[in-house]
Amino acid sequence: MTATKEQARPNATRKCGRGITLIVGLAALLTAGASLAQDNGGAPERKALRVCQDPNNLPFANDKQQGFENRIAELFGKSLKLPVTYYNYPQRFVFIRNTLRYKLPGQDYPCDIIMGLPVGFDQASVTKPYFRSPYVLVFPAGKGMDDVRTSDDFLALPREKLASLKIGVFDHSPASKWMARHDLVDQGVPYHTINVEMDYYPGRIIDQDLASGKIDVAIVWGPVGSYYGLTAARQAMHVVPIRPEPGIPLEFSVGMGVRYGEPEWKKQVEEFIDTHRAEIQSILAEYRVPLTEEPPASAAVSR
């Protein structure tokens, strides 16, 4: 059994709740400076696979190692023949600067890899993607929408039905643009992208507000929607992918993040992705993550 370890850091609240659920919203949440190059480009001998993570961020990760990123990290550690350790810090509080890039004079970094970052995110060097997932509509069964199988079906519902719906959506997300394009703004129930409540977690919009009837539909990113709407749901729900539309990014590719200036380490991480892609896909399937095809241009360029 691989070991886990939580390192101490000044001002880090280990058991702090998670703010925003959506990994693809990380660029809007993190306010750290521009990309920071490191001096050492090699891959030093490692005593552990040291992972930076949010401790309350299912289905991605948590401090009990129950997320799919935890499972993938354990797979990586096994391939390296190393134990896996975790440095916990809430994503909403300048995550990159306080984890992957946090270093005091004379001390080492607390962790060396983030298991999930959107491809193109510029505050870390992101690998080639290992999955791509769309935004989804989540709604309970038995509410007059059981025949909805696609986002086009949803938009084709009678206008009076659409007008009656309360649709939960995170502000500043692509979903809010999608709603505006389809004249659904008045039906929107806005949720803050950044939530500082200590006990907040990604799926609360679904397993509390949607399940209780406070809202009728939730629009969230695929991994969150599938986990809380299907895998961990306490009632029957439908999860329907939203079809991509020109000008609105509704699908996101995810790779792993390392520090700039560490090309050999990044190469090693990408080799793991390539050689263990089938096992990674199997883990994602267990969490019922909705997947879409990777566009040709989304492969990350090593830096």
Give the tens place of pLDDT for each residue, 153-180.
999 999 999 999 999 999 889 999 999 9
* Range 214-234 average pLDDT: 93
pLDDT exceeds 50 at position 34: no
| Domain annotation for the chain: domains and CATH numbers | 23-130+251-298 (3.40.190.10), 134-241 (3.40.190.10)
Distance, in Å, from the CA atom of 56 to the CA atom of 89, rounded to the nearest integer, reads 9
pLDDT exceeds 80 at position 91: yes
pLDDT exceeds 60 at position 262: yes
What's the whole-number average pLDDT of the chain?
Answer: 86
pLDDT exceeds 80 at position 194: no
pLDDT at 199: 76
pLDDT at 250: 96
Candidate from 30-39, 183-192, 273-282 with smallest mean pLDDT: 30-39
pLDDT exceeds 70 at position 58: yes
pLDDT at 45: 81
- The residue among 34 and 199 whose pLDDT is bigger is 199
* Range 131-159 average pLDDT: 97
pLDDT exceeds 80 at position 301: no
pLDDT at 195: 75
pLDDT tier at 200, thresholds 50, 70, 90: confident
- The residue among 234 and 97 whose pLDDT is bigger is 97
pLDDT exceeds 50 at position 135: yes
* Range 77-96 average pLDDT: 93
pLDDT tier at 43, thresholds 50, 70, 90: low
pLDDT at 294: 87
* Range 271-288 average pLDDT: 98
- Looking at the chain, the whole-number percentage of residues with pLDDT higher than 90 is 74
pLDDT tier at 224, thresholds 50, 70, 90: very high
pLDDT at 297: 60
